[in-house]
């Protein structure tokens, strides 16, 4: 047994801002450490946790008791025991404390990185480098979507006929050279009317998308049904991407968020008052 550790059992081993860390408070984490270097590393990790928990409390994102209880229930279920059996475990308070800390820090990480944005162009460039096989077609279209007309028709079938008739008139004007963008801004009832009805990139994975993907330049589509109403469209652009792009995008966002948060925690550490009494380890 390490005699110095026994003597230091209740002694102060570190200070973080205005908080003291005693040997006893982290004894369960360092009891099996064989060297001072290992113990110092564990203390530094503990300090990082304290700094993050302080910020979680400051930003009011600390774990709620109900979330802690749900996680503890999951732990009990996964170990095929009841929650009461789990609570009777001698070191249950340590399990509950760890759950609280992990949820609080996860909430904090989400809060700190919530406004982190990677441009679609950057995602496309980075992920295209990793995935050279472009096997998935995407298109960008402009739509005019109509869900209601300014009349008193209440019969659904009659309303459908009127909407389609109105869209056909618009389509005829566009086919003769009128501006699709202008008509979209004037008549489309979807929020995309603001930018002339232009969509983001859409994956060609439905029958409607396949039909729209075959449109020739400036050719107006036939009327089709959307979740927002009946629509006509023209194809603006097309591209082929890797079917793995979606997964790559998720990984890129995750990695960027992890790096951003790591640097943020490092700045917490740099701006904190930290004193470790290495001679007491």
CATH code for the domain in which residue 14 is found? 1.10.4030.10
- Tell me what the mean pLDDT of segment 36-60 comes to: 92
- Tell me what the mean pLDDT of segment 13-38 comes to: 83
- In this structure, the answer to whether residues 151 and 232 fall within a common structural domain is yes
**Four-CA torsion 120, 123, 129, 131, nearest 10 degrees:** -100
Torsion 235-236-241-247 (CA) sign = negative
Give the count of domains, the chain: 2
- Tallying the residues shown for the chain, one arrives at 281
- In this structure, the answer to whether residues 10 and 98 fall within a common structural domain is yes
Contacts of 236 (CB under 8 A, 6+ apart): 139, 140, 141, 142, 198
SS (H, E, C) 22-61: ECHHHHHHHCCCCCHHHHHHHHHHHHHHHHHHHHHHHCCC
C-alpha–C-alpha distance, residues 52 and 25, integer Å: 17
Domain with 225 in it: 136-241
Does residue 128 form part of some domain? no
What is residue 246's three-state secondary structure? Answer: helix
Give tens-digit pLDDT for 81-109: 999 999 999 989 999 999 999 999 999 99
Does residue 52 form part of some domain? yes
- In this structure, the answer to whether residues 98 and 147 fall within a common structural domain is no
- In this structure, the answer to whether residues 47 and 91 fall within a common structural domain is yes
In the chain the first and final C-alpha atoms are separated, in Å, by 13
Does residue 153 form part of some domain? yes
- In this structure, the answer to whether residues 98 and 200 fall within a common structural domain is no
Does residue 15 form part of some domain? yes
Give tens-digit pLDDT for 63-88: 999 999 999 999 999 999 999 999 99
Record the tokens describing residue 185, joined without a space: 């801004």
Q: What is the pLDDT of residue 7?
A: 44
Q: How much is the mean pLDDT over the chain? A: 88
**Could you tell me the pLDDT band of residue 6, with boundaries at 50, 70 and 90?**
very low
Does residue 152 form part of some domain? yes
CA distances (Å), 104 to each of 29, 55, 147, 260, in order? 20, 10, 45, 18
- In this structure, the answer to whether residues 202 and 230 fall within a common structural domain is yes
- In this structure, the answer to whether residues 22 and 97 fall within a common structural domain is yes
Q: What angle do CA 53, 15, 98 make, to 5 degrees?
A: 35
- In this structure, the answer to whether residues 102 and 206 fall within a common structural domain is no
Q: What is the pLDDT of residue 3?
A: 36
Q: Is 8 a residue whose pLDDT tops 70? A: no
Does residue 221 form part of some domain? yes
- In this structure, the answer to whether residues 110 and 212 fall within a common structural domain is no
C-alpha–C-alpha distance, residues 84 and 99, integer Å: 17
Contacts of 100 (CB under 8 A, 6+ apart): 62, 63, 68
Does residue 125 form part of some domain? no
Does residue 68 form part of some domain? yes
């Amino acid at each position: 047994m390490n005699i110095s550790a026994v003597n230091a059992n209740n002694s102060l081993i570190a200070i973080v801002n205005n908080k003291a860390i005693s040997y006893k408070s982290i004894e369960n984490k360092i009891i099996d450490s064989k060297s001072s270097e290992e113990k110092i590393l564990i203390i530094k990790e503990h300090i990082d946790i304290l700094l993050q928990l302080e910020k979680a409390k400051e930003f009011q994102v600390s774990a709620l008791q109900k979330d802690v209880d749900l996680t503890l229930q999951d732990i009990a279920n996964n170990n095929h025991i009841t929650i009461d059996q789990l609570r009777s475990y001698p070191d249950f308070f340590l399990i509950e404390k760890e759950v609280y800390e992990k949820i609080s820090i996860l909430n904090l990480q989400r809060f700190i990185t919530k406004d982190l944005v990677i441009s679609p162009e950057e995602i496309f460039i980075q992920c295209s480098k990793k995935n050279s096989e472009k096997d998935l077609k995407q298109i960008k279209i402009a739509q005019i979507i109509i869900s209601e007309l300014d009349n008193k028709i209440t019969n659904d079938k009659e309303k459908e006929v009127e909407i389609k008739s109105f869209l056909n008139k618009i389509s005829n004007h566009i086919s003769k050279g009128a501006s699709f963008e202008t008509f979209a801004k004037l008549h489309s009832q979807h929020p995309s009317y603001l930018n002339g009805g232009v969509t983001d990139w859409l994956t060609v994975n439905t029958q409607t998308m396949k039909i729209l993907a075959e449109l020739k330049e400036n050719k107006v589509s036939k009327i089709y049904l959307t979740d927002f109403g009946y629509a006509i469209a023209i194809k603006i652009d097309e591209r082929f991407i890797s079917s793995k792009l979606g997964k790559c995008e998720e990984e890129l966002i995750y990695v960027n968020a992890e790096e951003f948060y790591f640097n943020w925690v490092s700045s917490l550490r740099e701006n904190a008052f930290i004193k470790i009494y290495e001679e007491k380890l």
